[in-house]
Amino acid sequence: MAGLNLPSHLHIYMTMANAKKVALITGANKGLGYEMAKQLAQSGITVVLAARDPAKGESAVEKLKAEGLDVQFLKLDVTNKADYAGAVAFLEKNFGKLDMLINNAGISADGLTGTAASATTEQSLETTFETNFFAPIALTQALLPLLKKSVAGRIVNMSSILGSQTLHADPNSPIYNFKSLSYDASKAALNSFTIHLAHELKDTKIKVNSAHPGWVKTDMGTDAAPMELPEGGKTGVALALLDENGPNGGFFHLGQTLPW
């Protein structure tokens, strides 16, 4: 920048524009992704609200813009690699970096009640792993060069307490009787990605953590869930906003560490 000989006010403007942090949230047209987009934008972050369905994504963006929030739409089906280049180009062109990535898009192919392990189909496993495990890894890899351009990159993997092997194996744990192999294994695998990437990046400015939002009232969580959206959004948002002293490679719910 120094070599460009810019007028000083323009230089300051460009520095400020770059200083504003940018977050990308996948699957953000509804549910927890939408809630976290709202909360992050309310805390002064520019939010790229990614969704696979442009109509749903645009309408979510319009709602947040109507509240005066700085939110932009990006079409991104996390299982469609053809969308990745567009995401990289969009971020590159508009911001030249990415400060926060929340891998939020997720599915539960067998629903909340699940299917017995002995009856779980290969198709259920494949579909669930494609969205909940393979996609976050591939997308993170594609966006890592932009995250490395941030002064403090943050990656949040939206996991679940149902991904905890320790709690699933413990007859006294609250989730002992809530077993759905495809979903649970996909989140355990996602946690493994968190641990491995955090280790790889431990000497960089990037932090990688897994979040359990709580059992939250969304289409996935159903009306039976005890937690409302504003509370459910807090864990992922807090991990996206971690300062330099924050943890790396952990699994959290509302500030508490969860066992792997």
Binding site for ligand NAP (CB under 6 A): 26-27, 29-33, 51-53, 56, 77-79, 104-107, 131, 158, 160, 212-213, 215-216, 218-221, 225
Tell me if residue 183 is catalytic.
yes
Question: Least distance in Å: CB of 27 to ligand NAP?
Answer: 3
For residue 152, which amino acid is it? A
Question: Least distance in Å: CB of 37 to ligand NAP?
Answer: 10
Decide whether 45 or 190 has the Cβ nearer to ligand NAP: 190
Question: Least distance in Å: CB of 96 to ligand NAP?
Answer: 24
Which residues, other chains included, contact 76 with Cβ-Cβ below 8 Å and sequence gap of 6+?
A: 26, 50, 51, 52, 83, 84, 86, 87, 139
Question: Least distance in Å: CB of 43 to ligand NAP?
Answer: 19
Map residue 216 onto helix, strand or coil. strand
Tokens of 185: 């294994």
Decide whether 49 or 206 has the Cβ nearer to ligand NAP: 49
In the sheet with 256-257, reading across from the earlier edge strand, the strands are: 71-75, 46-51, 22-25, 100-103, 154-158, 207-211, 251-253, 256-257
233: left (phi over 0), alpha (psi -120 to 50) or beta: alpha
Catalytic option among 13, 34, 176, 183: 183
Decide whether 21 or 212 has the Cβ nearer to ligand NAP: 212
Q: How are beta strands 251-253 and 256-257 bridged, if at all?
A: antiparallel
Q: Tell me the catalytic residues.
A: 183
